[in-house]
Chain A
């Protein structure tokens, strides 16, 4: 790691002010930042440790929704009784991520900011060209070994995958990200790479995520997160899906459905086409499987990641079947 200064913030506005200096970064759980600093990807001048800011780690669940403080750890939120009962997809996404140790360290706010696992991005010594590290420098991933790269939301500048799990569940459930200055619907929080792959979220310098709000809904209460990977545990998703489902009183007709995909796109990927295709339809395996094809509309594959197209459809279908009670 390069040499850096370390400051411990005691108040939000203090932290915001400190971070307005270029080269200053916020340090929370450190599981992404310290890792990337060791890789030479991040070279902070100053780290502002925000983990001791007061009042940012509460988890409050009421009629309107769940408000999760940005400094709550993943493990703590994952086992919160109200979250587990009313937002099972959130709890499951957290428990299927990383390892118990990392979940004890990583915070909810930091988890949103988790960065790609693209092997080229993580190796600046070996691959100086990376549009995500340095816009305009080129992309080493295009047309090469790309089993783990994105098929959705890509650009001709970057195909790096968003690796997270929690944000996929939050995207499905229509969460809002609260910051020191505003509320941002999660669908607008993450930014596709386009011609600026270095910009991954809409956060401005000095802006701090303070909480995530997940609105209550029947679909949220009947939700799941399904994650598929080669290794049974401690691995990023080859493909994943978060699904919330609400049925009509007949117990068969879909009133409301929320679908988002992980492990396949440059950002957490809402599959509105699947939702539209199923709203008002009767539950059934064939219907679900057909509708799930829409999850990969516009997908494009490179080299060895074409399997994700088929896999994504099947993961979506199985997740819907699971919340729909189809064995």
Chain B
């Protein structure tokens, strides 16, 4: 048996120490070991996007990432998206306004994906948003609302930057 491994993960700007087996995925470490359950498990095999988090600023799937691989990286989850004073991120706010979800289970992954999508510059048109958000499945079928929310948030972010 492989020995347990002690590691520190930087999540949402805070350091978390944990001792786990190397086979523990980042997703399970977040949900089962660290109590950060905002990141969701929908398939656990890279096919739904519910577990999307940011590692060093890029959107990745936590279910196919070993926690140990994220050592020394900067991890951001849905819990770390709102500002310190609890003001919602522009994407979170737009998701509420556009009713871009129903059951809410894919939503954290959608939002983390959308934040990255806008930052990557892939929110230029509805068609582009649809394609670059296609890795996040929504069984409630809130896709129209998601596109509208990403479009609106992108406009607000660009407006604020201008």
Q: Do chains A and B touch in the complex (CB under 8 A)?
A: yes
Residues of A within 8 A of B (CB): 1-6, 27, 30-31, 34-35, 37-39, 47, 49, 51, 75, 98-102, 104-105, 232-234
Chain B residue contacts of A234, Cβ below 8 A: 134-135
Distance to closest chain B CB from A84 (angstroms): 14
Residue in B21, B46, B49, B58 whose beta carbon sits within 8 Å of that of A31 in the complex: B46
Question: Do A105 and B49 contact each other (CB < 8 Å), given the known contacts A1-B23, A4-B23?
Answer: no
With A3-B21, A47-B22 already in contact, the answer to whether A233 and B65 are too (CB < 8 A) is no
Given A6-B2, A6-B5, A35-B46: A100 and B116 interface contact (C-beta under 8 Å): yes
The contact sample of 22 A-B pairs, CB cut-off 8 A, is A3-B1, A5-B2, A6-B66, A34-B64, A35-B64, A47-B22, A47-B66, A49-B68, A75-B58, A99-B136, A100-B113, A100-B117, A100-B132, A101-B49, A101-B61, A101-B135, A102-B64, A105-B64, A232-B130, A233-B130, A233-B134, A234-B134
In the complex, the answer to whether B58 meets A104 with C-beta atoms within 8 Å is yes
Contact between A101 and B68, CB atoms less than 8 A apart: no
Q: Determine the chain B residues whose CB is within 8 A of the CB of A232 once the complex forms.
A: 130-131, 134
Within 8 A of A (CB), among B104-147: 113, 116-117, 120, 122, 130-132, 134-136
Chain A interface SS verdict (over half): mixed
Total contacting residues, chain B, CB less than 8 A: 32
Using a CB–CB cutoff of 8 Å, the interface residues on chain B facing chain A are 1-2, 5, 21-23, 25, 44-46, 49, 52, 58-61, 64-66, 68-69, 113, 116-117, 120, 122, 130-132, 134-136
**Chain B residues within an 8 Å CB radius of A38:** 44-45
State the CA gap A230–B132 with chains docked (Å).
18
Q: How far is the CA of A1 from the CA of B58 in the complex (A)?
A: 26
The answer to whether A101 and B65 have CB atoms under 8 Å apart is no
Q: Report yes or no: B134 in contact with A3, Cβ–Cβ below 8 A.
A: no
Q: Which of B21, B25, B60, B130 contacts A101 (CB 8 A)?
A: B60
- Tell me the smallest distance from the CB of B117 to a CB of chain A, in Å: 7
- Contact residues in A for B116 (Cβ distance below 8 Å): 100
Q: Decide yes or no: A30 and B69 within 8 Å by CB, A4-B22, A104-B59 being known contacts.
A: yes
Expressed in whole angstroms, the Cα–Cα distance for A37 and B131 within the complex equals 29
Known: A5-B2, A233-B131. 20 other contacts (CB 8 A): A2-B23, A3-B23, A4-B2, A30-B66, A30-B69, A31-B46, A38-B44, A39-B45, A47-B22, A47-B66, A75-B58, A98-B135, A100-B116, A101-B60, A101-B61, A102-B61, A102-B135, A105-B60, A232-B131, A233-B134
- Closest residue of chain B to A30 (Cβ to Cβ) is B64
**Shortest Cβ distance from residue A288 to the other chain B in the assembled complex, whole angstroms:** 28
Complex-state Cα separation, A171 to B65, whole angstroms: 29
Chain B residues with CB under 8 Å of A233's CB are: 130-131, 134-135
A34, B25: Cβ atoms under 8 Å? yes
Is the beta-carbon distance between B59 and A35 smaller than 8 angstroms?
no
